[in-house]
A and B are shown apart, each in its own frame.
Chain A
C-alpha cells in the first residue's frame, strides 16, 4: 500500500490524485467500522492529538474529536476564547507549550490564512488544517467529494456548482481543488460581489444566474453567507439574496433533471436553501456529516502512520 505524499494536511493544493484515492479507500474501511456495534479501533492508542480551535466551530470540532476517539487517540482540546491567547501569547508559543506535553499531532482552525503552513514550518508535529481563514478547509472538501462519489458513483466528469459566498469561503477553494483533481467540471455561482476576481484563472466557470447553473450541474453545493466575515454590505438584503440565490423545492422541481444538493453546514434555513430542500431526498447533507467522521479518521490514521515510533 502506498502512503500519503505529505506529512501534514494543510490544503488540497498539496495533495495529488493518489493521495485522495488512498484517503477515500481508507475512509471506506472506517465507514464500515463506525457502523459496527462497537465503533472503536485501537490503532492510535499511543498517539496524542491536540485540537486547537482559534475560531468557533461546532461540527468540525465534534467530527474531529469523534474521529480521534474512535481511533483510540488521546485528545486534548483548546479553544482560543478560554486561553492565554487573549493575554497576548503568540501562536508559536501557544503551540510549543502544548507540544511540550508530548503531543504528536495538531488539528488547528485559525482565522488567518496560512496559519497551518506557518505552524508546520516551526513546530515538530503533524498538522491538520481544520480551516484557515478564507483559504482552505481540506477535510471538508474531501468529505464533500467522497459524498459525491458515494451518491453518484464517481466524481470524474460530473458537473458541480458551488453556490453562494465564494469570496469568504475556504470550503469553496478546497472544493475547487479537490473536484478538479478528481476530474469534475466546476462552476461557481453567486452575486458578482461575492465571487473573487480572477477566479476563472483556476479553470472554473462563473455564472451569476442560479437557474442556468442548476440546469448545468449534477450537484449543487450550497454555501452559507458568512455574515461574520463581511465588513461591508455585499448585497442589498438577505431577502433579495434569497430571491436570487436561494434554492427552493419549487425551483428544483422546475429543472429538467434531478440534481443532488449539498451543504457544508451550518444551514441558514430559508436563506440559501429552504427547509423542504434541506430535508428532501435530493439533499445529502446528513450523509456528508457521517462521511466527515470516516474521512477524518482516514486522514488522521494515514498521517499518524508516518509518525515513526
Chain B
C-alpha cells in the first residue's frame, strides 16, 4: 500500500477560504441558507466552514446541521459489512430554505442521492447545492455534480482518497492511497 499527499495543510486551508468566499458570493449573509454536513465525514468539513464563516468572515447567522443517510442508502443488505448509523442533528425546518450539502469526497454520487431523499423528511427546500472538498471525476454512477469543489482528482477505482482533519488528531491533509 502506498500513499501520496494530494493536499497538505496549507493547501487545504487556502481551499477552505476559497470555498467560504464562493459561498458568501452566492449566499450573502446566509439569511435563507443552511449548511448540511453529510455524516459521517462531511461533518468535519461543514463544521470547519461554518466556523470560518462565523469567525473569519463575521457572518452571524450561519445555520449548520448534520444529516445521517444510513437508512436512505441503496446498498442495505448488499455489502459485506452492516451499515453504521450516525446522529442526525437538524434543529430547524428546511422548508423553502437554500441548502448546501457538504461532503469531503464526491465519488459515485450515491451518498448524495441518499441525502437528497433523506432531507425531504425535514421539509421541501427551495434549492439544494453541493460542496465537496475532493471531486473524483469520471467515477460517477449517477448524474450528480458539485456546485463548489476544492480539487478535482482523477483516481482509478483501486485508489482511495482519504481526508484527515486535525480535529481527529494529526493535521489537515488529503492522501491518495493505492490499495
Chain A residues within 8 Å of B, Cβ to Cβ:
1-3, 25-26, 29, 32-33, 36-44, 71, 301-302, 304-305, 307-309
Contacts and interface: CB of A to CB of B under 8 A. Distances in A.
17 contacts: A1-B82, A1-B85, A2-B82, A29-B70, A29-B87, A37-B93, A37-B121, A37-B123, A38-B121, A38-B122, A39-B121, A41-B72, A41-B121, A43-B71, A43-B76, A302-B82, A305-B83
A32 B87 contact: yes
B152 interface: no
B122 A37 contact: yes
Most buried by A among B73, B77, B86, B117: B77
Given A1-B84, A26-B85, A37-B93, A305 B76 contact: yes
B171 to A, nearest CB: 28
Contacts of A2: 82
B77 A42 contact: no
B78 interface: yes
B3 to A, nearest CB: 25
B179 interface: no
Contacts of B120: 38
B122 A36 contact: yes
B28 interface: no
Nearest to A298: B85
Contacts of A1: 81-85
Interface in B60-92: 68, 70-73, 76-78, 81-88
The dominant DSSP class at the A interface is: loop
Most buried by A among B71, B83, B86, B118: B71
Contact of B77 (A37, A38, A40, A305): A305
Contacts of B118: 41
B72 A42 contact: yes
Given A29-B71, A38-B122, A308-B77, 19 more contacts: A1-B85, A3-B82, A29-B68, A29-B70, A32-B88, A33-B71, A37-B121, A38-B120, A39-B121, A41-B71, A41-B118, A43-B71, A43-B72, A71-B71, A304-B76, A305-B77, A305-B82, A307-B77, A309-B78
Most buried by A among B76, B78, B81, B117: B76
A36 B88 CA distance: 10
A203 to B, nearest CB: 33
A16 to B, nearest CB: 16
A298 to B, nearest CB: 10
Chain B interface residue bracket vs A: 20 to 34
Nearest to B74: A42
A42 B117 contact: yes
Contacts of A71: 71
Interface in B31-85: 68, 70-73, 76-78, 81-85
Nearest to B76: A43
Q: Nearest 10 pairs between A and B by C-beta?
A: A41-B71, A1-B84, A38-B121, A29-B85, A3-B82, A309-B77, A43-B71, A36-B121, A309-B78, A305-B82
A32 B78 CA distance: 25
A77 B81 CA distance: 31
A25 B85 CA distance: 9
Interface string B108-146: 000000000110111100000000000000000000000
Contacts of B81: 1
Contacts of B71: 29, 33, 41-43, 71, 301
A115 to B, nearest CB: 27
Interface string B141-177: 0000000000000000000000000000000000000
Nearest to A45: B76
A3 B81 CA distance: 9
Contacts of A37: 93, 121-123
A304 B77 contact: yes
Contacts of A307: 77
Contacts of B117: 42
A304 B73 CA distance: 14
Nearest to B70: A29
B10 to A, nearest CB: 35
Contacts of A42: 71-72, 117
A307 B77 CA distance: 7
A308 B77 CA distance: 6
